[in-house]
Structure 1
């Protein structure tokens, strides 16, 4: 089972994904966090998310190299929840020391998803419903997020959009 959960900021997407994950019959739940605590506000957001999770979750931090992380954690008795893809995308696009990093990271993630035996849930911000951003980096971010979401949605058994805490199933394959 592979699932993509999309939604806006504070839409309830993480809570929805965590509830879905804990409903699965697995022996281990792994929370892969992609955020970097670069300022006080982000530190507070990370702390808030940590406080919401109970002791069943093992947390692994992967601000980059997400595909390699998923391969390392992969096993059929596990549920791996990745939160959040758009933060990970920002981390990759912001790595100016390695031009081409994003394409490598994206391809590695998609290959890891294709090969995975674990139950996977991905959380990501839906950013394509607003205006076209003015700046080149902002436009690239929105474009790459949209392309990534499409590629993952094609691979996922279930795609859910969460708005105001309410999940709307966009795709569901009985697997």
Structure 2
């Protein structure tokens, strides 16, 4: 699991690049499970840029909601980069889904790896307590999700200023 700090100074591009290097150290082919949704032109451009950076050997799977299903459908032994848990969580919260049930379902799938899996998430609990209920609910849910995924991960890295710090 590769975690980046939240808006307080994380470098999403450096975290993603580091995770991509970890995946490509494994034999190809590699899968990239993307959880982002393009609701505006700026996000469409970001997604296109990320896709263009990945070269041959990568298969992109869009899974903004059914991340557990996408992971479960991967062939055994397939190296995969999941980017990112906090976007996936946001998608479920905005759709008013049962977040706890979805997180349990995801944690269950991740607890049974069938290959090298690399998961990117944001660490959002290091800042101040948000001033609104939705942001506090998100922060709490992201913290629980990160803890659950970190508990089943063999390694946890925290990216700070583009540098990986081994947490587990």
TM-score, L = length of structure 1? 0.88
Distance in 1 between the 2:94 and 2:76 partners? 31
1:78-126: CA deviations, max 9, x gaps?
1011001100000011113x4x2x1221111111112221211000111
Q: The residue matched to 2:111 in structure 1 has which SS?
A: helix
Distance in 2 between the 1:163 and 1:40 partners? 29
> Does the 8 Å contact 2:111/2:152 carry over to 1?
yes
Partner of residue 88, structure 1 = 88
Root-mean-square deviation (CA), in Å?
1.3
- Give the one of 145, 148, 167 matched to 1:148: 145
Partner of residue 52, structure 2 = 51
Q: The residue matched to 1:115 in structure 2 has which SS?
A: coil
> Does the 8 Å contact 2:36/2:88 carry over to 1?
yes
Q: The residue matched to 2:19 in structure 1 has which SS?
A: helix
> Does the 8 Å contact 1:83/1:123 carry over to 2?
yes
> Does the 8 Å contact 1:28/1:57 carry over to 2?
yes
* Structure 1 residues not aligned, in runs of 5+: none
Q: The residue matched to 1:132 in structure 2 has which SS?
A: coil
> Does the 8 Å contact 1:5/1:17 carry over to 2?
yes
1:118-150: CA deviations, max 9, x gaps?
211000111111111111110011101111111
For this pair of structures, how many residues does the alignment match?
163
Distance in 1 between the 2:75 and 2:124 partners? 29
